[in-house]
């Protein structure tokens, strides 16, 4: 540390002044001693009276969104702060909040940090460390501001609202004898109003007839459930290397950074989930990463949030092949259900497992992510040939493809009608 070197120099000068009895050494010793004393007390007050606040508009974002964080540093003391270094220890990639500022007595300084969210996941904003020193840089002080906030970055979403997917026309069935809080075309009956019931469910004709406030009860729409199966087998996922447009930050596709088969698979799964939930379909998700996660089929905006939060933390670090996932979870896929598999696997075994589901009247669609376009030596040529031979509709996704356009035109797609 700098003050130790100055103290050692003062000690050497004091020793020389005693040996040679030179008055100039005495004066120089007192100057250095006084410098150390002034610098020490200056540093003691360097961080006093400082108040820092940080604000963000949201604690949720999507890959490709711009996160803006506002920071204000106020000096409530009567002493000026020559320089204050603000050091941020956030885990959000590319979040540059740190800087050096100076403040006069009672002054306030503020700045903004604008960060593009390039990676999905759960991140920490904060803590902050304030660092200051005396004008000579001899004594350094640090102050920890432990306040932190959690930020969840959801996967990127492709707008599929105007796209007709091959599974866009889903099969119906008999009415399900199961009550639902959602408004559906199937009215099961009426009952007396209870506190908390929505006013748009009031049956006015029954209310006028009985003289009591009555509400409608609904049954589930008989349309088929949609199951999205996301393959997280680490042996088949690759990062884009050695391909045109690939770099440290990846290639910007549909407004978000997608640089691996994992990111493509997650983005496709999230986009399909939103698409079908917007159509008021019941959507279930099976993701086989390090541990298998299953979200039962449900509908509504709240279920979409659950799906996005699960996908935000998904990592393709599993060892279970996708065919094992299909066979294990096949009891969840009812008759006339639609199963959409999203995978970069080049193992034809999963195609046979998907074909077995069709014998139980389960409709299927395969979205195959071509690993060779990401720089891998593996190719999905045999998988595509097997899908074509078995008549299973599929979409072949390559690195850099326009997902919105591609999902509208599946190769070898077979219409799934009512």
3 state SS of 8: helix
Question: In which element (H, E) is residue 107 found?
Answer: none
According to the model, what pLDDT value does residue 4 have?
A: 82
* Domain spanning 226-406, CATH class: alpha beta
According to the model, what pLDDT value does residue 411 have?
A: 46
Q: Model confidence over 306-362: pLDDT tens digits?
A: 999 999 999 999 999 999 999 999 999 987 789 999 999 999 999 999 999 988 888
Categorize the per-residue pLDDT at 216 as very low, low, confident or very high, splitting at 50, 70 and 90: confident
According to the model, what pLDDT value does residue 198 have?
A: 77
Taking 50 as the threshold, does the pLDDT of residue 91 lie above it?
Answer: yes
Task: Say if residues 138 and 2 touch (Cβ distance below 8 Å).
Answer: yes
According to the model, what pLDDT value does residue 406 have?
A: 83
According to the model, what pLDDT value does residue 5 have?
A: 81
* Cβ neighbours for 389, distance < 8 A, ≥ 6 positions apart: none
Average pLDDT score over residue span 169-178 = 44
128 vs 188: which has the higher pLDDT: 128
- Burial label for 232, CB within 10 Å (0-12, 13-18, 19+), is buried
Q: Model confidence over 360-405: pLDDT tens digits?
A: 888 889 999 999 999 999 999 999 999 999 989 999 999 988 888 8
According to the model, what pLDDT value does residue 163 have?
A: 53
- Burial label for 328, CB within 10 Å (0-12, 13-18, 19+), is middle
Taking 70 as the threshold, does the pLDDT of residue 253 lie above it?
Answer: no
Taking 60 as the threshold, does the pLDDT of residue 185 lie above it?
Answer: no
According to the model, what pLDDT value does residue 119 have?
A: 92
Q: Using CA atoms, how far apart are residues 170 and 186, in angstroms rounded to an integer?
A: 17
- CATH H-level superfamily of 50-154: Immunoglobulins (2.60.40.10)
Taking 90 as the threshold, does the pLDDT of residue 177 lie above it?
Answer: no
Average pLDDT score over residue span 220-234 = 83
Backbone angles phi, psi at 213, to 5 degrees: -70, 120
CA distances from 48 to 39, 51, 137 (A): 15, 9, 17
* pTM for the model: 0.79
DSSP 131-186: EEE-TTS-SEEEEEE---EEEEEEPP----TT---TTSS----SPP--EESS--S-
According to the model, what pLDDT value does residue 249 have?
A: 39
Q: Helix, strand, coil % (nearest 5) of the chain?
A: 30, 30, 40
- Compute the mean pLDDT over every residue in the chain, rounded to the nearest whole number: 84
């Amino acid at each position: 540390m700098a003050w130790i070197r100055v103290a050692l120099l003062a000690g050497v000068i004091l020793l020389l002044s005693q040996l040679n009895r030179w008055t100039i050494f005495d004066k120089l010793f007192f100057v250095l001693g006084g410098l150390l004393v002034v610098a020490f007390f200056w540093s003691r007050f360097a961080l006093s009276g400082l108040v820092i606040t940080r604000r963000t508009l949201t604690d949720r974002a999507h890959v490709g969104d711009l996160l803006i964080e506002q920071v204000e540093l106020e000096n409530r003391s009567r002493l000026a702060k020559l320089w204050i270094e603000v050091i941020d220890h956030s885990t959000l990639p590319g979040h540059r909040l740190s800087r050096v500022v100076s403040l006069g007595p009672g002054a306030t300084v503020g700045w903004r940090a604008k960060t593009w969210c390039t990676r999905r996941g759960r991140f920490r904003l904060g803590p902050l460390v304030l660092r200051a020193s005396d004008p000579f840089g001899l004594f350094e002080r640090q102050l920890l501001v432990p306040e932190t906030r959690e930020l969840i970055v959801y996967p990127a979403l492709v707008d599929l609202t105007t796209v007709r997917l091959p599974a866009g026309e889903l099969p119906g069935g008999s009415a399900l004898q199961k009550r639902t809080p959602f408004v559906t075309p199937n009215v099961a009956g009426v009952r007396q109003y209870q506190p908390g019931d929505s006013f748009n469910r009031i049956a006015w004709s029954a209310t006028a007839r009985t003289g009591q406030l009555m509400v409608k009860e609904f049954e589930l729409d008989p349309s088929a459930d949609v199951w999205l199966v996301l393959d997280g087998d680490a042996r088949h996922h690759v990062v884009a290397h050695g391909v045109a447009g690939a770099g440290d930050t990846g290639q910007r596709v549909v407004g978000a950074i997608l640089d691996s088969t994992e990111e493509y698979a997650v983005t496709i799964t999230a986009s399909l989930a939103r698409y079908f939930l917007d159509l008021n379909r019941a959507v279930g998700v099976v993701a086989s990463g390090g541990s298998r996660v299953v979200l039962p089929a449900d509908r509504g905006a709240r279920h979409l949030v659950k799906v996005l939060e699960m996908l935000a933390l998904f990592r393709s670090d599993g060892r279970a092949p996708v065919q094992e996932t299909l066979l294990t979870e096949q009891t969840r896929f009812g008759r006339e259900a639609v199963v959409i598999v999203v995978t970069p696997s080049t193992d034809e075994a999963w195609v046979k497992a998907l074909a077995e589901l069709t014998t139980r009247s389960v409709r299927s669609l395969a979205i195959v992510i071509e690993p060779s376009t990401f720089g891998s030596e593996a190719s999905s040529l045999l998988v595509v040939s097997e899908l074509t031979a078995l008549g299973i509709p599929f979409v072949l996704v390559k690195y850099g493809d326009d997902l919105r356009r591609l999902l509208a035109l599946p190769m070898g797609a077979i219409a799934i009608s009512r």
